[in-house]
């Protein structure tokens, strides 16, 4: 079983829509959780860390459910510039190994 699993999409949504992505992780010992954004043919960049109590950064909200071992990302009021692939990342804090999901593709349509 993969360490991290994501729905690859693609998600095609109109501008202004709200869209949610989910991600599941297999190892209950995982400690740190992140969402990264990757634009086409570019390097990944940190979008936000995910904290146990949930956290918000502008139009982006991340949630963690340890009992069910899933992480979510909610994007409100989608912009054209949000079009990208969103990567779910998990860290066990053992030897600094990070595990990446395959990514969920989002296209925001005018």
* Binding flag, residue 87, other proteins (CB under 8 A): yes
Q: Which of 11, 23, 75, 103 binds other proteins (CB under 8 A)?
A: 103
Sign of CA dihedral 20, 82, 106, 72: negative
Distances (CA, A) of 4 to 23, 82, 97: 7, 22, 13
**Chain residues 39-58 in contact with other proteins, contact rule CB under 8 A:** 42-46, 49
Coil vs helix vs strand at 81: helix
Question: Please, which residue, 23 or 78, has the CB nearer to other proteins?
Answer: 23
Question: Please, which residue, 45 or 66, has the CB nearer to other proteins?
Answer: 45
* Binding flag, residue 96, other proteins (CB under 8 A): yes
């Amino acid at each position: 079983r993969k360490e991290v699993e994501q729905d690859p999409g693609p998600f095609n949504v109109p501008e202004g829509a709200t869209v949610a992505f989910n991600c599941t992780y297999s190892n209950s010992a995982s400690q740190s959780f992140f969402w990264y954004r990757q634009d086409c043919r570019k390097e990944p960049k940190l979008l936000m860390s995910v904290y146990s109590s949930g956290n918000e950064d502008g139009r982006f909200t991340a949630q963690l459910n340890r009992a069910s071992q899933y992480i979510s990302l909610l994007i409100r009021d989608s912009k054209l510039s949000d079009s990208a692939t969103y990567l779910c990342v998990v860290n066990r804090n053992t030897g600094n190994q990070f595990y990446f999901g395959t990514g969920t593709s989002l296209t925001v349509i005018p």
